[in-house]
Every structure is written in structure tokens, then in C-alpha cells.
Amino acid sequence: MNNSDILILGAGMTGMATGIVSEAPIYEAADAPGGICSSYYMSAGGDAPLPQPPPDGEAYRFEIGGGHWIFGGDPAIIHFIRSLVPIQSHSRRSSVYFRSRSLSVPYPLQNHLRCLGSEISLMALQEMALAGHIRPRTMREWLDQSFGTTLTGLFFGPFHERYTAGLWRDIAPQDDYKSPATLFLSLQGAIKEAPPVGYNTTFIYPIDGLDALSRRMAEKCRIRYGKKAIHIDVCGRRIHFADGSSSHYDKLVSTLPLNQTLTLAGLNVEAPVDPHTSVLVLNIGAVRMPGCPNDHWLYTHENRSGFHRVGFYSNVDTSFLPTSARISQDRVSIYVERSYRGSEKPHENEIQVYVRSVIEELQEWGFIGSVEVIHPTWIDVAYTWSWPGSEWKSSALRLLENHGIFQVGRYGRWAFQGIADSIRDGLMVGGALLAS
């Protein structure tokens, strides 16, 4: 097939990987590549994001969707990334933060029970040891079965209430690999140090930021910016854009979220649509206070503002700080995440109230002093979930494929995965379509 018969929607990591292999044109709504996996810069006191750092380097680096660290991935994909940009490897530093106790417990919580005291430790171990083996139907049932009611009540329940915006009681179990439950390691961690586990025990990150990786990938692609798709004519196989133009396709690769592609194509599936959560990310540059932790990120549910994670960009790499602060490290670059039910974006005045609340709390906690810059970003489809027994996703993917539309990537296929796996999917699909 001639690559002119293939079109790609979205110049995120997946779309660009597809374009590199297939050499097919990519249509991107924004004016820059990378999607939510891209960096931007803000000077202290400024209110306008900059695509590049100023000449003097006096700016904080942030990411649109919060900290996107590159974990896992096939060695060949890591080699591909390394061929484009210099990278640095990191070992995860992450904790569960109990504000009421001024206590940070290393992640994962269940493997560090000795930090919670002997009474909680013993109860949790007993519950995990006596857990049944009936296949759980919901995430709530999975949490109870995996960690017991004590740990679920103490942390996993209230945390997932915020992380899933209240969906955890009804959605199917998911993400078990993020916090694996192993009784042996929980027993070990109740007595002494347990080895790190999970999908992100180590991760890599481009030394010059994700925007450097995005730019290098974009150089290998044919990207047409400012092309926001507003309708897909599945009968005529034509995409219509907001600028009034249109393009014909024989095969369409879409990295847009699955629900959005269905809407653009005017297609419906006879099944309840699987849910998703949106995330409001607050990027903050501030004076670093003595109480600021050295973790890469904290999971927390004990706060007034409603967020579930606080990440520290500059604890991963000081290049997230203005040049003048990189040696003294008297500043800190932070991201704060709060989930909402799918697409329920708060009004601007609500966001401003929330911003003030977050700043006040982080100052009360002794994490930050005066704030030099703060910038909210909204990720409409941030995490995707499924109802128990749902066939919506598989039916939607088949329906689109029948019309020559192939969904690719984390949001396109409605499944959690990282940057490395998204790049792998794009390279694979691009090659497969080109050869067909």
C-alpha cells in the first residue's frame, strides 16, 4: 500500500512512532508535537508557557500531564529512545504520606508494614493470609481481597476514592501490577527491608526533557499542525478538520481516545461506554522548605484539597529548576494531581479556589514557601477503566476496524501503558500497515 493512503491522527509519542515507520502524514490539532507527553517552561512570575527555555535558562520546566517517566519497555525500544536523546536512569523513591501522623511509608505500603506499628502490621498480615480466592468482580473487592480490610480502610480505599473519582466501588479490577500483593514480601517487610517491586522500580528520563524526545521524533515525521479533526466520514473515508479542509484515507490510524474517535465517526456500540477519569494537574515552582521530601512522588489522601498525588520533578532531575537554583536547590518544581469523573472539568473560579487551597496546604506541610509560578493543565482522558464484564472496548475496536480505522496507543486502545510501550505500538502498527 502506498503510504499516502494511510493517515495518522495525533502527533503524540504513539502517532509519531507510527509516522516514523510508515512515513504517512500525521494530523495534529496543536501547534507542537508530543501530546500530553511534552515539556514546557515558565519563568518566575510569568503566566505564559514557553515552548523553549529562555536564553539565560531562568525558568522552571514542567510537563503538560505531570511527571511522565519512562518505565519498563522492550530493550529495543529503550535503545531507540537512547539513539534519539541522551537519557538518565533513576531508581524509584516513592512513599505513602499520612499527614495526620506526619508519616511517610515507602511504597508499596503492604511491603513496609513495620512502619505502621505492630498492631496494624499483625492485623494486616492475618487478613492477607486468610484472604479467599474468589475472583473479585470490582476494584473494591480486589483491594479487600488483596490487602485486607485494615489496609483498605487505612489507605487503599480512601486513596482510590480520589484516584478513580469514586469509581473504584463499581469498576472492574485493574492495575494489580502497580502494587503487587505478595504475602511473603509483606511478611518480610513487617520485619526488615523488602526489595522494591512494581512496574516502575527503575525508570529513565531524557536529560533535556520530554520535549527534546518529542522534537527529535517529530524531525523524522511529516506532521501537519493545527489540524483538529471534527468529523470522520466513514462511508467516504474522509476526515474533516476545523480549518475547513479535509483529507481522504484508506487506512486511518487514530491515537485519539477511543470514545472520542467513535464520536467523530458517528458510530455507536450497543453497550454502556466504559468510564474514564480526567485529571487537573497543577504545576508549581516555589521556594523549597526544609520539610520538602526527597521522594520522586507521594501518594496521599489526607488533605483538604482533594488531590491524590504530589510529584517532585526536581527531585528526579535538577534541570527542572531555573539555572540559578540548580546548585543550591533552594527551589522546587512540583506537580499535583486531582481526578474528576470523565470530562467534568471544574469552572475557572473553582480552579482558582482549588489552586489557593493546594498552595496553603503544601505550605502548611512545610513543603514549599513562597510560590514563584503556578500553572494548571487539564487532561480530559487521563485514566481509562472498564465496567465488570464490559464488551464496550472490544466491540468499539472491531467496529472501527471494519471502517478502516485502527486505534493505537494508551488512549486509543483504552488501556494503561507507559511511553515506551506506546512507542512500541506505534512502530509495530506503522510497519504492519505499510507492509499490507
Q: Would residue 25 count as lying in a domain?
A: yes
Kindly state the helix (H) or strand (E) to which residue 405 belongs, with its residue range.
Answer: strand 405-407
More confident residue, 416 or 274: 274
Q: Would residue 100 count as lying in a domain?
A: no
Same domain, yes or no: 251 and 320: no
C-alpha cell, 396? 468499539
Report the mean per-residue pLDDT for the chain: 94
Q: Would residue 174 count as lying in a domain?
A: yes
Q: Indicate the pLDDT class of residue 435, thresholds 50, 70 and 90.
A: confident
Q: Would residue 214 count as lying in a domain?
A: no
Residue 3 pLDDT exceeds 60: no
Nearest CA-CA partner of 282 in 364, 204, 351: 351
Same domain, yes or no: 332 and 358: yes
Residue 1 pLDDT exceeds 70: no
- What CA–CA distance (Å, rounded) separates 351 from 140? 29
Kindly report, residue by residue over 190-203, the tens digit of the pLDDT: 999 999 888 889 99
Tell me, what DSSP letter sits at residue 111? G
Same domain, yes or no: 8 and 48: no
- For the residues 417-422, what does the mean pLDDT come to? 93
Own/partner pairs for 165-168, CB < 8 Å, 24+ apart?
A: 165/277, 165/339, 165/340, 165/341, 166/341, 167/139, 167/275, 167/277, 167/341, 167/385, 168/138, 168/139, 168/140, 168/143
Same domain, yes or no: 293 and 345: yes
Q: Would residue 101 count as lying in a domain?
A: no
Same domain, yes or no: 119 and 183: yes
Q: Would residue 212 count as lying in a domain?
A: no
* C-beta separation of 404 from 249 below 8 A: yes
More confident residue, 34 or 47: 34
How many domains in the chain? 3
- pLDDT above 70 coverage of the chain, percent: 99
Q: Which domain holds residue 13?
A: 3-33+221-271+389-435
Q: At what angle do helices 13-22 and 210-219 cross, to 10 degrees?
A: 20
87-91 and 70-71 as β-strands: parallel, antiparallel, unpaired? unpaired
Residue 84 pLDDT exceeds 80: yes
DSSP 3-state of 185? helix
Q: Would residue 196 count as lying in a domain?
A: no
Same domain, yes or no: 45 and 83: yes
Confidence at residue 294, expressed as pLDDT on a 0 to 100 scale: 97
Residue 31 pLDDT exceeds 90: yes
Same domain, yes or no: 244 and 114: no
Residue 335 pLDDT exceeds 90: yes
- For the residues 338-343, what does the mean pLDDT come to? 94
CATH number at residue 334: 3.90.660
Q: Would residue 366 count as lying in a domain?
A: yes
CATH number at residue 406: 3.50.50.60
Kindly report, residue by residue over 204-227, the tens digit of the pLDDT: 999 988 999 999 999 999 999 999
Same domain, yes or no: 284 and 260: no
Residue 292 pLDDT exceeds 60: yes
Same domain, yes or no: 228 and 137: no
